[in-house]
Structure 1
Amino acid sequence: MLSITTKSPYALKALTELARQGGDSPIPIGELARARGIPVQFLEQLFAVLRRAGLLKSQRGVKGGYSFAKPASEITVLEIVELLDGPLGGGSEGIFLDAANAARAILEKTTVADVVEQEKKAAGVAMYYI
């Protein structure tokens, strides 16, 4: 079926924040969770899956946190969804398979870096000066 739980959107929000804060130094998970309004324990579970899959790397200690194991421009939204929620459209038939394939096509061509750019553009549109 075509099923995306809250796991994927929360993970994408946190990864977008990680990319936005960017740099080579790790960002504490609590900081990412606070910035995007995500429960820390939930985000820890999601990031553990993404770390095991090779998308993130973690560093322990005072200057610890998470950073990307590969560039945000190489991590697709589909990859995140399928790691956290399973195959998109698995077991679908007919019109539901068509819908799943359409969703897959969009999510496959959209990267975390693309989402960061979309957020920047949206923030720029919302800003006005007097």
Structure 2
Amino acid sequence: DISIIICTFNRYVKLKKVLNYINELIVPDELKYEVIIVDNNSNDKTKGIVERFIKKKPQIFKYLFEQKQGKSYALNSGIKNAHGEIIAFTDDDVRIDRKWLFVIMDAFKRYDCIGVGGKILPMACPVTN
């Protein structure tokens, strides 16, 4: 099982894009996953955007509000509420490859590891596999 944690602060437009990418993920049949969006005290439309995704997939998307300002507070709040054996962090301004969950699962199956990382490419670079 994987918990995906996304921390955000006043970036609802970018957050909406990354949540759409997550909706397009190819998910292995045996995988259970959740997406925890931690709102780090936003005063924009962040909560409303997340609620739309929760309405469509309440078993997947979760909303947390972290009043203490700072990414470390938001991340720790997400971790405390995560149910997955694996925790995957991503940001609110990225493009996620559709095979991202497959790659994460494969790394943990193939290697004796406690963590993995990946490439971060500028948005202008095409993603090729």
Q: TM-score, normalised by structure 2?
A: 0.27
Relative contact order higher in (CA < 8 Å, ≥ 6 apart): 2
Larger of the two Rg values belongs to structure: 1
